[in-house]
Amino acid sequence: MRTTHISWVVAVGLVLAGCSQAPTVDVDAAKHALDEARQAQAADYAPQSWTAAQDAQAKLDVELDAQAQRWSALRSYTIARQLALETKTAAERSRDEAVAGKEQAKAEASTMMAQAREETTRAHSAIESAPHGKGTEADLATLKTDATSIDDTLQEAQRAFDAGDYIGAKAKSQAAIDAAKKIEDEIEQAKAARRAA
């Protein structure tokens, strides 16, 4: 009877000792997964899942701090282990979504850059076919300067694309598209005004 009692005490002591040690392996795995998500640019290409991973990390940090404040015999890291697992899972999901999001952004940037080149070509053609005459030379000079600026923007888009900044490449491409369309519209309006005169 006494041996059974001692066995129970030892078993309970081992269980309590196991629960009172911080889950450093689980926490390290969660941190590693977060680092991988950060390197995959999850904040840019998978912002919602990145936020979820950061929220999970914050909950884990709060739980670890709470247990660290407790007396060592009363510490229980069961919840911290679970939160570390949830953090790791959320970070891995964020990393995977970022990789997929980056590939999608790459394809979109490539398409937009091609569209921007086409619009720029149309803008240059529109400038060449613009009405010439008294009072139009200053306007044409301004439009030519604007077209040159679009060419510069396209080069910036290409540099961003080559550097892997697909979000930046998309933004530059959209700016080039908008500027080219503006030139085309202005020239079309000038042609319509000349026909009406």
36-62 pLDDT, tens digit each: 999 999 999 999 999 999 999 999 999
- Most distant CA atoms of the chain, gap in Å: 115
pLDDT band at 10 (very low <50, low <70, confident <90, very high): very low
Q: Report yes or no: 44 and 34 within 8 Å, Cβ to Cβ.
A: no
**Residue 9 resides in a domain:** no
| Final residue belonging to a domain, choices 101, 136, 168 | 101
Asked if the model's pLDDT at residue 194 lies above 80, the reply is no
pLDDT at position 6, please?
55
Choose among 25, 28, 29, 21: nearest CA to 76. Answer: 21
Are 35 and 81 in the same domain? yes
Range of the domain at 31: 17-101
Are 84 and 110 in the same domain? no
Q: Report yes or no: 26 and 84 within 8 Å, Cβ to Cβ.
A: yes
**Residue 65 resides in a domain:** yes
What is the tens place of the pLDDT at every residue in 118-146?
A: 999 999 888 888 777 666 677 778 888 88
| Final residue belonging to a domain, choices 101, 116, 143 | 101
Helix (H) or strand (E) holding 122: helix 78-128
Whole-prediction pTM: 0.74
What is the tens place of the pLDDT at every residue in 64-108?
A: 999 989 888 888 999 999 999 999 999 999 999 999 999 999 999
pLDDT at position 17, please?
47
Are 31 and 87 in the same domain? yes
**Residue 74 resides in a domain:** yes
Helices (H) and strands (E) in the chain, counts: 7, 0
pLDDT, mean over the chain: 87
Q: What is the mean pLDDT of residues 30-40?
A: 97
Are 181 and 119 in the same domain? yes
Gap between the Cα atoms of 107 and 109, Å rounded: 5
In this structure, which amino acid lies at residue 158? Q
Are 88 and 162 in the same domain? no
